[in-house]
Amino acid sequence: MEITFLNNIPVYQFQNFLNFEEVFQFTSTRKGGVSNGVFGSLNLGYNTPDTSENVVENRALLQKAIGTKHLIFPKQTHTNHVEVVTKKNQYDEFEETDALITNEKGIALAVICADCVPIILYDHKKQVIAVIHAGWRGTVGRIVQNTVQKMTEVYGSNPQNIWAGIAPSISKEAYEVGEEVIQIVKETIGEDVFYAKDNEKYLLDLWEANKKVLIESGIPYHQIEIAEICTYQSSDTFFSYRHCSDTGRFATGIVLK
């Protein structure tokens, strides 16, 4: 990934996606906003103790920076539910939704995170974009597979033409989970995405787990880019819930120009 400054707001961008001039993609950092303290400064999450006024202004700053009038966030609840966004329904709440897709220009789709895995998809043939929020629940719920299937059903996408980006999120070195989580991972993803630790604890690789499901969904492995930036280890740049539970949220998004 490389960093770009938009009106003094730093965003990270996937190298592979820079080859497509018709899309703009971004991952914001915790810098460039108006929030203070542990939310300093570009907190984009309403579900935090930060003031709603700060979040409104921060989202407006980001929206201006990326140059779109329509910046859409779903109401994320760790589901595997996918919604289609159009200009007719773009002001809907998108309740209990953790992935969005569209083929309409000018609508920026985004999710907020603070360790969970944000993923963007782009079908360069059918001109379809998607954004996904995948914590461990969404990952084992195979939300990325649901999203690819939705792109295929609604827009006729061929997974072979889809490019994917796995944005900054918690790495396996920092993501310790219990055996109850691992049992579900075994059943839904497999045994090659976690590592035994001590005291019945495990390290779960959400990057590899989602990459595996993307490949199983038909996306070529060479069209999947992983940022390999750990939010926990880079908590001075990105919000990390595991590093500090009283924290903000950053965004990952994509828009068809």
Query: What residue type is 91 in one-letter code?
Result: Y
Low-confidence ranges of the chain (pLDDT < 70): none
Task: For residues 111 and 253, give the distance between their C-alpha atoms in angstroms, rounded to a whole number.
Answer: 7
- Give the integer Cα–Cα distance in Å for 238 and 12: 11
What's the mean per-residue pLDDT of the chain?
97
Name the one residue in this structure whose structure tokens are 């740049």. Answer: 237
Report the pLDDT value the prediction gives residue 198, as an integer from 0 to 100.
77
Q: Which residues contact 214 (CB under 8 A, 6 or more apart)?
A: 119, 144, 148, 164, 224
Torsion of CA 108, 111, 112, 117, to 10 degrees: -130
pLDDT value of position 57: 98
* Nearest residue to 250 (alpha-carbon basis) of 168, 186, 159: 168
Domains and their CATH numbers in the chain: 2-170+223-256 (3.60.140.10)
| pLDDT one-digit tens code per residue, 173-232 | 999 999 999 999 999 999 999 999 877 799 999 999 999 999 999 999 999 999 999 999
